Amino acid sequence: MALTHCKPITFIGTRDRAAARRFYGGTLGLAEVSEDQFAVVYDLAGTMLRLSDIADHAASPQTVLGWIVDDIEAAIDDLTARGVTFEVYEGFGQDDKGIWRSPGGGPAIAWLLDPDGNNLSLTQL
């Protein structure tokens, strides 16, 4: 069986469910679908995101979840107004909003961290 046509689920670990819930549901505005003793579930444009409780969760440095946006600058302005800070990485050559632009006019990407330090991104293609 190929998984090509199977609907995915994404998982993100959290040490602090209350803080993660405020961030994903409040700050990012994701629609909460359900909650059980193991996770809070959000709808990501038809894909399930499970914020799973992991007591000793340690965020890894790579991006674990990203969104394709039509206008990265407008998305950054909106999220910044909601209290989100965008990451600036030494040597990446990002602009003052934290946007890295691919040479030759390719994608524009900006990174942010959730309360657990999980790396998230916005990409304008």
Determine the Cα angle at 68 with ends 21 and 22, to 5°. 10
d(CA 82, CA 100): 21
Report yes or no: 87 and 97 within 8 Å, Cβ to Cβ. no
Listed by start position, the domains of the chain span 9-124
d(CA 27, CA 40): 15
Q: Each residue of 77-96: b (16+ CB within 10 Å) or e? A: eebeeeebebeeeeeeebee
pLDDT, one tens digit per residue, over 31-73 is 999 999 999 999 999 999 999 999 999 998 899 999 999 999 9
Radius of gyration from C-alpha coordinates of the chain: 15
Taking phi over 0 as left and psi of -120 to 50 as alpha, with beta for the rest, 43 belongs to beta
User: Tokens 């602090």 — which residue?
Assistant: 16
Q: Indicate the SS3 state at residue 3.
A: coil
Structure tokens at 69: 């946006």
Q: What is the pTM of this model?
A: 0.94
Fold for 9-124, please state it: 2,3-Dihydroxybiphenyl 1,2-Dioxygenase; domain 1 (3.10.180)
User: Tokens 């916005």 — which residue?
Assistant: 122
pLDDT, one tens digit per residue, over 78-125 is 999 999 999 999 999 999 999 999 999 899 999 999 999 999 999 999
